[in-house]
Amino acid sequence: MSTQRTALVTGGNRGIGLAICKDLAERGLHVVLGSRDEANGEAAARPIRAQGGTVRVEQIDVAEPGSITNCYERLAADDVAVDVLVNNAGIYPENDALDATIDQLDRAWTVNTRGPWLLVKAFVPDMIERGYGRVVNMSSGSGSFGEGLDPEHAAYAASKSALNVLTMTLDDALPDESDVKVNSMCPGWVHTRMGGEAAPRTPEEGADTALWLATLPSDGPSGGFFRDRERIPW
């Protein structure tokens, strides 16, 4: 992959998102680190820059359509073309199907599904026009019918299943002749604020499949669901 590629990573200021930003920068990509709080994003970007990485911080709240539009317009105004979109930002509300609150349902859909969908609508048309793009949707085995949906986090499971639907339907909508690929992935149980202290995987281990999908060659897969670089069932 050209070292001039640019990757936008949402939720890039901590956890798996930050690990993805660090590694993509080490691989020579220009990284747009998306963070709801710009100050937190700048703090996360400083060590990457100190190691020689090229990082631009963008304030972006995936729950706010206007925030997504503003981010797109700022990048376009500066002639920054996003070649890789990593939809990493997400929330993990608890409660089963009976106890899930309206707010949890709305927030899970808004952050985990609608936000990535709006980001796809903003950035993928330009990828198609340029003939290259990679979209990585951070999903979860909790949203897999084949592996068993997570009944204790029903709103989360539903929103991640819906994110997988986005992956599948976007893949069908992509022109055959363009080198644009979209895939879902599960990072596994990762030691982050979301995953908790008992989780066995490091953020770097959780990020590995995202890095692979973000830098796929032209003959790589599209429209799939992966963990540890291997396909898993929808």
Three-state DSSP state, 223 = coil
- CA geometry: angle at 208 spanning 192 and 63, to 5°? 55
Catalytic residue among 72, 92, 132, 156: 156
CA-CA distances (angstroms) from residue 13 to 31, 35, 46, 96, 147?
12, 6, 11, 29, 30
CB 6 within 8 A of CB 28: no
Distance CA 169, CA 156 (A): 20
CB atoms within 10 A of CB 135: 27
CB atoms within 10 A of CB 180: 23
Torsion of CA 97, 194, 184, 163, to 10 degrees: 40
Q: Residue type at 147?
A: E
Q: Is 228 left (phi over 0), alpha (psi -120 to 50) or beta?
A: left
Three-state DSSP state, 9 = strand
User: Which pair of tokens denotes residue 185?
Assistant: 């992935």
User: Which pair of tokens denotes residue 34?
Assistant: 């998306």
Is 156 designated active site?
A: yes
Residues classed as catalytic: 156
